[in-house]
Amino acid sequence: MKQRLFRAIFILLLMPAGLWAQDISFVASGKTSVGVGEQFRIVYELNADGNRFTGPDFGSLRVITGPMTSSSSSIQIVNGQMARSFVQSYTYIVSAGSEGSFVVSPASVFVDGKKITSNAITIKATASSNQSQAGSQGESSANSNSEKQGVSDKDVFVRAILDKSKVNLGEQVIVTYRLYTKIPISNISVTKLSSFPGFWMKNLMDENTGLQQSRQIINGEEYVTADIRKIALFPQKTGKLYIDPMEMECTAQIRTQTDRKRARDPFESFFNDPFFNRNIVNVDKKLVSGSINIEVSPLPSAGKPQFYSGAVGQFSLQSSIDRTEILANEAITLTYTISGIGNIELIDFPGPAFPSSFEAYEPKVNTQVKVTDQGVSGVRKIEYLLIPRQAGNFTIAPVEFSFFDPKKNQYISLLTQEFSLNVGQSADNNNGRTIISGGQESIRILGSDIRYIKTKSVILNKKNDYFFGSVAYVSIMVILFLSFAFALFWFRKHQKLTQNKSLMRNRQATKVARKRLVKAQTYLKQNNQNEFYTEISQAIWGYLADKFNIPLSAMSIENVRLTLTSLQIENSLIELLINTLDNCEFARFAPGDPGEKMEELYNQGIEVISKIERNQK
């Protein structure tokens, strides 16, 4: 009976490991028939935890962005059987610039040290003349309609701005997509991102933060400006490189003719104030930034160092070692630190040469990147773990690191310091000798295979007295099994709650809105109009998105009206909400005088959120 109990517990403990085993698959998927210029996804899915992913060769296909990595896992127990699934995906967004058949070669990834290869994909690109013609007609008709309604390309437009158009290979260049407007706009969305073939790119803006607005005078007219996107580019090939335009859509708000007929009204200066005006028309406007090109020159060959590895920018180099007085078979850490501005993530640091009696492990590389409006900078730290196997005095020679400085237009070489190490004889090797023959991989220790008789007191166990099968062993096994069952129950419950994102957003909606209203009140007291209107608008829009589970991509006044109507909310409350949203959207780009208007808008925001919250309860 006792032996059966032990076997049952042992089998239960081994069950999860067996149930979690699964066949490894690495599958590439994507559309096989696309139109020329169409953006589509190619996804590589791995049902295991992999590393060292190597992307495919896309040939003449243009890679817009990628790879974007994500992972998900789940555990299910059905009829007492446990099943675990884990998916790790790598996603690319690409497009075809011409007609033809394209073959995307397999990608590879390592799982537990074993290389796994995906399947290849064949993609056929055909001309989409009808779609392009319809799209161009739709675009022209939309722009003509917007011009008929009083919205021209001078009222609102977007530009792609380069900080420099002529650079060297690997030199950082920053492109900024900036929005200009003279009229109130809302529902700003990017419909097509620019592709950057031939560049390694880094996004310089946090997409979760709001747009930072400023004012600029152009040809005597005042515009409200906001940076939509800012990218740091590092060219990887020479020649003239082209960047496609970025396309956007927005809703412009213009006054109707009824405002002009009331010009003789003595109260026109008050009631025709844009803050209180309701006689406005929403006009959809499509914005396209101009295409830009960058001329990339090769790096000069004159003065190029022998071991130059492609670093471009302004860098500094430091080296350090944790100690220089050690014993044989003890570990030391040698660190090289590169810091500065430029393509720091692409730097290939030349490895130092170590004495033959040193055992050196693969370096640990840690890169900390700092992204600002001025570009990419950071610190790249390379750490070597060394173990000297022989006593004596040794020297680690200096390492030369070279980079090209585009500001000085010359190569600069930095040299680390030389380290002298005093390695003493280890106490563990008094009875052995170190033999070196032919290099570091041939180091052998003799005299360690025979152990001497121990002279100290030794604790002995009774014969046939084993820990396996004892009361302590059974207790530990039971505790481990119960702990595993409790952890599994808690994990499933927590996973069920976290997967219900709509419920989590609904619970946090009021709390998040309250925090934003508190910040808005602070800006109200400071008379900071821009920040005040931004916080009020984000508080109301964010509350509606979280409370009623509306995706941010679908947030519009019409969708909000339909959602609230379907929930049978009073029409008066819906109209109050729509009026408040109109004020917020308009005031963000054309704020009026401070004072009573800001106070009234703040009170409207609190009132509408409070009434909706009471209505839902």
3-state secondary structure 17-41: HHHHCCCCCEEEEECCEEECCCEEE
Q: Strand 185-192 relative to strand 199-203: parallel, antiparallel, unpaired?
A: unpaired
Q: Residue 187 is inside which H or E element, if any?
A: strand 185-192
Let me know: does 161 contact 176? Beta carbons within 8 Å: yes
Q: Which CATH architecture has domain 16-127?
A: Sandwich (2.60)
- Confidence (pLDDT) at 73: 63
Of the candidate CATH numbers 2.60.120, 1.10.3470, 1.20.120, 3.30.460, the domain formed by 503-616 belongs to 1.20.120
pLDDT of 196 above 60: yes
Using one digit for the tens of pLDDT, what is the confidence trace for 352-410? 888 988 988 888 888 888 887 778 888 999 999 999 988 999 999 999 999 999 989 99
Q: Where are the domains of the chain?
A: 16-127, 147-297, 313-435, 503-616
Across residues 591-606, what is the average pLDDT?
71
Its sign, for the CA torsion 105, 109, 113, 114, is negative
- Confidence (pLDDT) at 205: 82
- Confidence (pLDDT) at 135: 43
Q: Nearest to residue 146, comparing CAs of 246, 46, 285? A: 285
Binning pLDDT at 50, 70 and 90, where does residue 610 land? Answer: confident
Give Cα 35 to chain centroid, integer Å: 29
pLDDT of 178 above 60: yes
Percent of the chain predicted with pLDDT > 90:
18
CA distance 127 to 177: 29
503 φ, ψ (degrees, to nearest 5):
-65, -45
Q: Helix, strand or coil for residue 505?
A: helix
CATH fold of the domain at 147-297:
Immunoglobulin-like (2.60.40)
- Confidence (pLDDT) at 558: 79
Let me know: does 358 contact 441? Beta carbons within 8 Å: no
> Bigger pLDDT: 471 or 206?
471
Angle formed by the axes of helices 501-526 and 596-616, nearest 10°: 160
pLDDT of 339 above 80: yes
pLDDT of 527 above 90: no
| Fold: same for 16-127 and 503-616 | no
Using one digit for the tens of pLDDT, what is the confidence trace for 473-508? 889 999 999 999 999 898 887 777 666 666 666 667
- Confidence (pLDDT) at 261: 43
Q: How many CB atoms are closer than 10 A to CB 443?
A: 17
Total residue length of the chain: 617
Average pLDDT, the chain: 77
Q: How many CB atoms are closer than 10 A to CB 520?
A: 24
Burial class for 151, CB neighbours closer than 10 Å (0-12, 13-18, 19+): buried
Burial class for 12, CB neighbours closer than 10 Å (0-12, 13-18, 19+): middle
Let me know: does 555 contact 581? Beta carbons within 8 Å: no
Q: In the numeric block, which tokens belong to residue 303?
A: 């003065």
pLDDT of 432 above 60: no
CATH fold of the domain at 313-435:
Immunoglobulin-like (2.60.40)
Q: How many CB atoms are closer than 10 A to CB 348?
A: 8
Q: In the numeric block, which tokens belong to residue 554?
A: 């679908």
Q: What share of the chain is helix, strand, coil (3-state, %, to 5)?
A: 30, 40, 35
